Structures are given as structure tokens and as C-alpha cells.
Structure 1
Amino acid sequence: MRGGASRRRLVLGVLLAVSVALLVLDSREGNDPVTSGARAAGDMAFHPISAGVSAVAAPIDDSYRALRAAPAASERIDELERENKKLRSRLEARDRDDEQAGELDELLRLSGMGGYEIVPAHTVTRMSSSGEAEVVTLDVGKRDGVRADMTVVNGDGLVGRVSRAQAHTSTVMLVTDGSSAVGARMEDSSEIGAIDGQARAVDGSGALTFTLMDTKARMHEGDRIVTLGSHENRPYVPGVPIGTIAEVEETSDALQRTARVAPAADLSTLDVVGVVVAGPEEDPRDSVLPPDPRDEDEADAARHPTGETGGGEH
């Protein structure tokens, strides 16, 4: 028994001595054959054990890292989504601002050409509290100088007239309303008639009917119509573009001539409008109308006659 203990102490002493010797030799510079061989033998002996431990621990380590990274990644994704939402909102707001600025420029151009004094406004709702379909509510009212029967326009032409004015808002009957009637005149002519609203057409767009007073007067597709106006400039000031004749209606009634008119203003997308609080000192006639596309077509045809080759003489 005592001999076995002595052998164990002897082996332990030898191992300690060898370990100290290897540490001393390994601290020296250069590649010593003895230490290199010993180190290589140690690697060979312990590498399988180390690899096995790493293989077992790797999935646990990966799972631990994934658990640590998951909350941070989720928070980062949420943060990016919030930033993208804010960015989209800013871009949409900028686009709306640019669009409204363009509409305001067109409105000021029209009012300047016609000599109209206007109060700019925004449309708030498309339907009034009474349920009428062809009215809009504006964010201006009596405090802004708006009164009933004032003309309402946008940058393209006639929108309608103020039917009711409250302190801070006003209700506008659109020109397409079924009860709307506007004194009108044909462009470049003294022929007058009346524009009547037809509420909504089958395709959902606003519709107007123009009836000439003189049944012998001629009208054609493409002819443009403006407001006739009155001395009091109410309910409509003169010279505002109403629309363009889209189709001359053939009727058996010789006592009236009618035509379907496409409104100059897109009443389905109203935003920036102007209430005319003071009319012009004199009738602007046709000066508010934009250039006639038919004149441009004729000028283009004159510049490029049919059959012209453009190759010059040979």
C-alpha cells in the first residue's frame, strides 16, 4: 500500500518537473525542437477533446447570441419603420404643398386677368349638412368678407356660387347642381344663353347644358362659354370660363338649341378656390380664357401643310 503511494508521488513529481522544464524552454526565443515536439504532442492529445467540447457548445452559444440579438433587431426594425412612415408623411405633405402652391398661382393668374378681387379658400367637405350632393364647404365665411351669391372660381374657371355664408365657413352650390342656372355667352360672339346643371352624369363627371336664346344661332363642338355677368356682379361676375361645348344636341324642337358642355374646372378634385368678393370695373370679355387649342392647331397646320416633304428642291 505504502509502495503504491510512493509511486504516485514519484509520478507526480516527475510530471511537475517536466512541466516546469517545458515552461522554461517555451519562454525562450526561437523554435526549439524539444518544446515544439512536446507542444505538438499535447495538441494531438487534447485537440479531439477540445473539438468535441466546441461542437457541443456551439449550438448553445449561437442560440444565446441570437436571443441577445433578437430584441435589438426587432427594436431597430420598429425604429426604421417609424422613420420611413415619418419620411413618407413629409414627402406627401411636400407634394400637397407644391400642388396647392401651383393651384394658388393659377387662381391668382385668373383673378388678375379678370380684374376679380378674391379671397382664397380651401374646400373642407364635398357634402353639406342637409345632404345635398352638389355643394362644397369652404373654410372662409363672413369674417373674411364672404356673402351669399358671390362667385366662386378656381384657376381653371367657374366652380359655383355661395349659397350660404356663416361666420367661419360658407356653402357653395356647384355649377353642376341640378338647380343651378348661369347666364352665359359664347366666346367671340354676342350670342347668349343659359347654362343649367345636370347634377352628375352617368360616368360620374359633372355635366352642363347650354341653351341658346337665338334658335338660328350656330354653335359647334369646341366653342367655349363664359359667364355673362350682371351690373351688380351677382350672382356671377362676367368673363369667367364655364366650359367647352362637347356635343351639339339635335332636337326636333325648333324653339331651342342645346349643347352638352364639359366644365372648365375639374369639380371632382377641388382644393384651392377663390371667392370673388369684388367684381371687375368693366367686362373682361374673353381675356380670361386661355389660348384656343383650335387656333394652335390651325397655326401648326399652316406651318406644316399637308403633303409637304420638307426635303427642299432638287
Structure 2
Amino acid sequence: MAIDTRPPASRPNPQVRRTGTSRDADRDAGRPARSLVVALVLASAALMVVDKADGSPVDPVRRVVGEVVGPVQAGVSTLVRPLVDLPDTLRTNGSLRDDLGRLEAENADLRSKLDKAGYDDQRLADLQGLRALSGDIGYALVPARVIAIGPAQSFSSTVTLDAGSDAGLHPDMTVVAAEGLVGRITSVTAHTATVLLIVDDSSRVGGRIGDNQELGFVRGHGTLGTDDRLEMELADHNLVPKVGQSILTWGSEGGSPYVAGVPIGTVGKVYESLRETSYRAVITPAVDFTALDLVGVVVPYGTKGRVIEGGAQ
């Protein structure tokens, strides 16, 4: 019998070899046989081919699986979707709030413009009317705005304008609106002017009937409301005015305080004064004295500054 004379450290270890073999066997035991893998692959391919055909035998199974699994998938999706969509929802809500704020601001701006549109349109119409009137009467106009109405305790019908001596205004100047005669300036400061309206009971204006040039005197009744009234007494007491006739200013010497040719109003009705054996005409004013805004003060052509002249400003 041969004796192994090699040192113990260099001798082969039978236990180790056996252990390694055992490990390989255990690892192989966990794997499916190669033939089984091939069979499964072939079966999957065959199933795919069969499923492609019309009237696939897999359809009933698919329907059963769908009926069982479908509601479960829908329920899980319903529960999970809010959590998945939460970041987008937060971003979307913030964006919607920003859009809402922007739209509200735009809406407020549009509402403001709409509310102001009527006022701007009226002022434009007044300005165009003043241009036309300037050409009709042959004078330039200094534009001004009515900023106050005289107090009731003053017992006079007056308004205050936002232009005064700095704009070249002085007492006894004619004041008109786009529709016709407003009154005359009675006093001024550097930046304002007081206007006595023709409806004041102290006002007297020389007027003429437009279609026959008959002269008379127009006086006011001191009211500003719906009872705004003017009366005209003709110089010819035997002449009977006709309803609807227009009344214009006949003018003062040098155009002060009233220039000629400015509309005063129209004849509303006529009555006979038995005491004075004459006829009087009730005049409907051309101007609405409760809605005065933009007016013009009559000045000679060539006046420097901001003036309106016969259709060109």
C-alpha cells in the first residue's frame, strides 16, 4: 500500500470536493429543465397564434378574467389616481387662481371703460356741437367745464366754470353750450368764472323769431328743474307767435353781453296778456340747464390759447 508523503496542507480535501458537487446540484435543482423551458416557449407562441385567429378560444377566458379583474383595477385606479394627480392638481389650482384674478381685473377694467363710454361719447358730441356752433355764429370759443351750481340761498340761477381771467375771460361774455345759449359771465377769478343763466328771473335777453325776424325780449322764471321756462314778449304786440318757431339772440352792441344768432329755444305755447293787450310766447329752452358740462365762452377769432374755431380746434 502506497503511503502519501505530501504535507497535509497540500493534500486534496475530499470533503471540499464533495461539498462543491453538492452545491452545484442544489443550484441546478432550483432551475426548470431545459426541455420544460422549450415547451413553455412553444406553448406561448402557439397561444399567440391561436389568439390572433377569429373566434379565439381564449376569448371566454379573457372575458372571465376581465369581469373579475376589471372592477378591482377600476377601484384601485380610483383610489390611487387622486394621490398620483395631487401635484398636478395643486399646480392647476394655483394657475386657476392666477387666471381668475387676472380675469377679474380685466373685467373690472372693461366695466369701468363701459361705464365711462357714455360720458366720453357725450363730451365728444358736445365738443363737436361747439365746433359747429362756432362756425354758425362766426366767433371762436374758449372751452370750459361746469364745476358748480350756485347755492339756492343766493336766489339766483348761476353756475361756475373752471376757466377765468388767466384764460382771457371777463364779465359780460356770452356763454353757450352745443345746443344754444347758456347765459353771461358776471364775475371772474384767475381760474373760475360765474355765469348767470338765462332762466334766472333777473335775466333779459334780446331775441328774434327765426323765420320772420320779429324782435322781442326773453326773460327767465328762475327755475332749473323740469319747469325750466322762458317767456318772450314781442315788440309788435299785435303779432301772434306760432308754436314751433325758433328763437335766436338778436345780439348786443359789440357782442357784449350777448352775440347774435345763438339759439335760445322754440315756442312751446302762446297766450294773450289781457292786461297788456299783447301776446306772450312760452319758450322751451334749447339747453338742458340741469345737465350742463362742457360749454364755450365766446371770444373774437384770433384769440390766443386753447380755443374752438369754426370746426377746427
TM value normalised by structure 1:
0.66
Rg larger for: 2
Matches within 5 A, 1:239-258: 239-258=261-280
1:227 is the counterpart of 2:260: no
Q: Which residues in structure 2 correspond to 1:1-314 (within 5 Å)?
A: 31=48, 46-57=69-80, 69-91=92-114, 93=116, 96-125=119-148, 127-128=149-150, 134-189=157-212, 191-200=214-223, 204=226, 206-278=228-300
Q: Distance in 2 between matches of 1:150 and 1:29?
A: 111
Calculate the aligned-residue CA RMSD, in Å. Answer: 4.2
**Separation (CA, whole Å) in 2 of partners of 1:193 and 1:58:** 91
Q: SS of the residue aligned with 1:226?
A: strand
**1:60 and 1:231, CA in 2 relative to 1: closer, same or farther beyond 3 A?**
same
Structure 1 residue runs without a partner (length 5+): 1-12, 280-314
Q: CA deviation at 1:95?
A: 5.3
Mapped partners of 2:220, 2:182: distance in 1: 12
How has the CA–CA distance of structure 1 residues 188 and 47 changed in structure 2, closer, same or farther, with 3 Å as cutoff? closer
Q: How far apart are the structure 2 equivalents of 1:88 and 1:74?
A: 21
Q: Matches of 2:212 and 2:116 in 1, distance apart?
A: 44
- Cα pair distance change 1:63/1:174, threshold 3 Å: farther
Count the aligned residue pairs: 262
> Deviations 1:100-145 (Å, cap 9, x if unpaired)?
33322321222222222321222233x1367667332222111111
Residue 247 of structure 1: how far off its partner (Å): 0.3
Query: C-alpha separation between the residues in 2 aligned to 1:23 and 1:179?
Result: 119
By relative contact order (CA 8 Å, sep 6+), the higher-ranking structure is 2
Q: Give the letter aligned to residue 277 of structure 1.
A: V
Q: Give deviations 1:212-239, integer Å, cap 9, x for gaps.
A: 2432222111222221322132221122
Aligned equivalents of 1:22 and 1:244: distance in 2?
Answer: 114
What are the ranges of 5 or more consecutive residues in structure 2 without an aligned counterpart?
1-29, 302-313
Deviation of 1:188 (Å):
4.3
Structure 2 CA distance for partners of 1:44 and 1:100, relative to 1, 3 Å: closer
CA shift in 2, pair 1:171/1:48, >3 Å: same
Equivalent pair of 2:244/2:267 in contact (CA under 8 Å): yes
Name the amino acid aligned to 2:150.
Answer: S
Note if contact 2:265-2:283 (Cα within 8 Å) is conserved in structure 1.
Answer: yes
Question: Alignment identity in percent?
Answer: 38
What do residues 134-193 of structure 1 show as CA deviations (whole Å, max 9, x unaligned)? 332222111111111211012221111112212112222221223322122223445432
Q: How far apart in 1 are the matches of 2:103 and 2:270?
A: 58
Contact 1:205 1:268 (8 Å CA) reproduced: no
DSSP 3-state at the match of 1:250: strand
Question: Are the structure 2 counterparts of residues 129 and 164 from structure 1 closer, same or farther at C-alpha, using a change threshold of 3 Å?
Answer: farther
User: Which range moves more in the overlay, 90-99 or 109-118?
Assistant: 90-99
